[in-house]
């Protein structure tokens, strides 16, 4: 097993013009704003204005954006196709509306997905007048193109991920995941108390991408370790033969993490 840390400095920081997504001018002095721009997005992989061949994807994980949207701002209606899009809400409330007739608002710890397939249009907004919204959006490449568009979501009580792995997303035949996608991939989340620890078993020919959303964590196994602070990530590569286990230990302020597990790249 190997760890490859993705430090905060390696992420691309995007602060797009508000008009590109149908927003009015920035209002950094407005109640609840904690940034100059309406959106601060940290790209883990090449996306939009960032093109880096060395950070194109990790296995079937094509995009992972850590988005912070200021109050009363959002992404106007836009289209997607041939991608499994999964969103995990870290802070605030996200309101989603799409061309399939879905409209709902989700809060911390909830997860939503779209099978964009043959094509879908949607919008994402932070309608709160005074609270920023933070969410993780992941694009996972599907096993086939042209699928029928679909949407789903699930909310979880805090205890479901408190010092345990909550299985948020799995393949369509997964038995314990609340949300199903069209790919051999699983997404887990956990919130640790200070010093909390959990093992994770990575199967043969499997790999994982773990992001520290809040707090700090250390990852350890017999051959090495990695320390992650807020926003940082780690690529975890498995071995060809046999299951490989590693341990995740939270720092003194606890931690909130998300882990995407998938088949290893050929």
Binding-site positions for Fe cation read: 78, 80, 122, 124
Q: Which residues pair with 226 in a beta bridge?
A: 219
Q: How far apart are CA 87 and CA 114, in angstroms?
A: 9
The C-alpha angle 68, 41, 164, rounded to 5 degrees, equals 65
3-state secondary structure of 10: helix
52 touches 46 (CB < 8 A): yes
Q: Provide the CA 26 distance to its chain's centre, in angstroms.
A: 26
> 62-74 burial string, b = 16+ CB within 10 Å, else e?
bbbbbbbbbbbbb
- Binding site: which residues? 78, 80, 122, 124
């Amino acid at each position: 097993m190997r760890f490859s840390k993705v430090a905060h400095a390696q992420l691309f920081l995007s602060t797009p013009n508000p008009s590109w997504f149908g927003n009015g001018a920035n209002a950094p002095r407005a109640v609840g704003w904690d940034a100059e721009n309406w959106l601060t997005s940290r790209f883990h992989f090449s996306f939009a204005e960032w093109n880096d061949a060395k950070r194109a994807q990790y296995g079937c994980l094509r995009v992972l954006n850590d988005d912070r949207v200021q109050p009363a701002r959002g992404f106007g209606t836009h289209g997607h196709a041939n991608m499994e899009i999964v969103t995990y809400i870290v802070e605030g409330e996200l309101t989603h509306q799409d061309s399939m007739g879905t409209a709902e608002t989700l809060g911390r710890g909830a997860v939503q997905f779209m099978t964009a397939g043959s094509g879908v249009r949607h919008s994402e907004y932070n309608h709160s007048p005074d609270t920023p919204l933070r969410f993780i959006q992941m694009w996972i490449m599907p096993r086939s193109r042209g699928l029928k568009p679909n949407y789903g979501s699930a909310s979880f009580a805090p205890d479901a991920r408190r010092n345990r792995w909550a299985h948020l997303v799995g393949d369509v035949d997964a038995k314990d995941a609340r949300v199903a996608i069209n790919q051999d991939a699983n997404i887990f989340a956990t919130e640790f108390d200070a010093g909390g620890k959990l093992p994770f078993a990575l199967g043969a020919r499997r790999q994982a991408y773990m992001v520290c959303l809040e707090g700090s964590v250390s990852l350890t196994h017999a051959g090495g370790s990695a320390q992650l602070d807020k926003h940082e990530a780690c690529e975890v590569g498995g071995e060809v033969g046999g299951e490989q286990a590693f341990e995740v230990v939270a720092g003194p302020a606890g931690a909130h993490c998300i882990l995407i597990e998938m088949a290893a790249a050929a």
